[in-house]
Chains A and B, each alone.
Chain A
Amino acid sequence: MGMSGGKGPSSRVTMSEINVTPLVDVMLVLLIIFMVTAPLIQQGVKVNLPEAKAAPVQSEEKKLVLSVDRYKRVFIGDAEVALAELEEKLKTNAKAQTDKEVYLHADRDLPYGIVVEVMAATQRAGIDNVGMITDPFTSLKRAKANK
């Protein structure tokens, strides 16, 4: 997936913007990301979920849920783990390694960076499928209100 680079006469001009291509490549090529709707997931950790109109993924089994709350605390289930330990915790976790899939339950107001860090740790732990948990009801309400 190429980003628009400088082409033609302007190619010698110094680029002042950060090239995000490698980051986006790594995240999107190696991770399979999908949306999961919140009612499927009952979690102990309270987070404000992002809203998204996304086709809900039906999940028959309970997958491991990673949560990041608004204070940037990371949880596996309801157990808090340091972000630095997350990779090892997931690498040794028999459930995550069997499923090769986790759900990410992150607060909507978090900086993008922390979410990417969690996703990167997940991917380094060999888990390629990350379900992004979103809140369908708020977005449905808003969609109706806009009409």
Chain B
Amino acid sequence: MNRTLVLSALLLPAVGLSQAAVIEISGANFRPMPLAVASPAAQDPKAAAQSGEFDQALLYDFTACGLFQVLDRKSFLADTKEGVTASSINFASWSNVGAEALVKAQLASDGESIRGDLRLFTVATGREDLKTSESAPADQVRRLAHRLANAVYKHLTRETGPFESHLAWVKKTSQGKDVYRSDWDGRGATLLASGGFNVLPALAPDGASAAFTSFRRGKPEIFLHRGGSSTPVVHAGRMATGVAFSPDGRRIAYSQADGESAQIWVAQVDGSNPRQVTNTPFFINSSPTWSPDGRRLAFVSNRGGSPQLYLQSADGSGEAKRLTFQGNYNQTPDWSPRADLIAFTARDERNAFDLFTVNVETGKVNRLTQDQGNNEEPSFSPNGRLIVFTSTRNGWPQLFVMMFDGNNQSPLPMERGSHTTPDWGP
């Protein structure tokens, strides 16, 4: 499968096609599309008061998703009072700042809800490619921006954008560790679990429930958070950790320790009907992640002497297949929803942790991060185009996002704090 995104240029003349060019998945020709995002126009004072927040969210979405080269507004030449319709736009002034596409948005608010109209233009032809309107409650102007950005993403790629998806992550506090769920940019966080140590969260495919590992009753156990409350679902063994939802959301995989060894188990979401997947006495198997078809698991095992990634069918049948052969410390695998890649953390020869992907079929390893602190705990976006991870490059644990090939790395716009172990879900 081709793994690089390519913008087929909007400049190309449409050959008998009325549809706009599509940002396609292709070879090494990927070039971010130069995109000008005009400052949003507000049609009333209430909308004007929120346009800054809207603008920030919209710019972040376009910048962080990696498809665009969002142009610096300081270079803009167009009249700031320029209209939003094709006939009122001087496209030469946008072409002169290097823009291939232009986004214009305007906001209107009645106090209860806020409406945003967004138009996308091809600068070379002056054609309006997309006109879309969305509404949101007045206090959710960022969500409005994410929806409109998703419409642009969908229009240009024919894929569902990541901007309305969610993350779960852990925040370190003075008392312990709390689990939060937030928007894809780390904003709008809600507390899922607090009190003691709550770690290793996973978002369920239904988008509403989550699971995590908690020490609140002493030993590590797996809790399910659903409908506003958390209940323990796996409390067997010496400890149970590292839960992952199957793609259909009906099963969970986790690691359960008994004695000196730990094995991978699969159970129903409520913890019933547990079945052992791995059976390697004396060895540790942990951090399971599901293949998108739900038939296989990738996990970490030290059965070969050092922690390496292995694949095994989720029902435990057959032999485990070793996937990584480089390095001596590979951990925290996450299987791409596009099926071809598994991202993982590896300790390199200088004892730094960095992110890599391994192709499930060919075993080809690709390095994503280097010489930028420790980079750990990758998790793919639901569309498989982006990876969220933890990085210490700025001196403290911080959530970052990048493209699946390691390009376009940027921190999430969150308040400063110790944020780790992100999991990306719907």
A78 to B92, CA, bound (A): 8
A79 to B96, CA, bound (A): 9
- Residues of B near A108 (CB, < 8 A) are none
Given contacts A89-B74, A89-B75, contact A77 B93 (CB under 8 A): yes
A52 close to B (CB within 8 Å): no
A55 close to B (CB within 8 Å): no
B69 close to A (CB within 8 Å): yes
B75 x A94 contact (CB < 8 A): yes
A77 x B75 contact (CB < 8 A): no
Query: How would residues 96 to 124 of chain B score, 1 for a CB under 8 Å from any chain A CB and 0 otherwise?
Result: 11110000000000000000000000000
B92 x A77 contact (CB < 8 A): yes
- Residues of B near A79 (CB, < 8 A) are 77-78, 93, 96
A94 x B96 contact (CB < 8 A): no
- Residues of B near A44 (CB, < 8 A) are 92
**Interface size classification for chain A:** 10 to 19
Contacts between the two chains (Cβ within 8 Å), count: 45
A64 close to B (CB within 8 Å): yes
A78 to B95, CA, bound (A): 11
B77 x A94 contact (CB < 8 A): no
A11 to B251, CA, bound (A): 94
7 closest cross-chain pairs (CB), A and B: A94-B98, A95-B98, A79-B77, A92-B75, A77-B96, A92-B72, A93-B75
Instruction: Give the interface of B toward A (CB within 8 A).
Output: 34, 69, 71-72, 74-75, 77-78, 90, 92-93, 95-99
Query: 25 A-B contacts, Cβ less than 8 Å apart?
Result: A62-B95, A64-B96, A76-B77, A77-B77, A77-B93, A77-B95, A77-B96, A78-B92, A78-B93, A79-B96, A88-B74, A89-B77, A92-B72, A92-B74, A92-B75, A93-B75, A93-B96, A94-B69, A94-B71, A94-B75, A94-B97, A95-B95, A95-B97, A97-B98, A98-B98
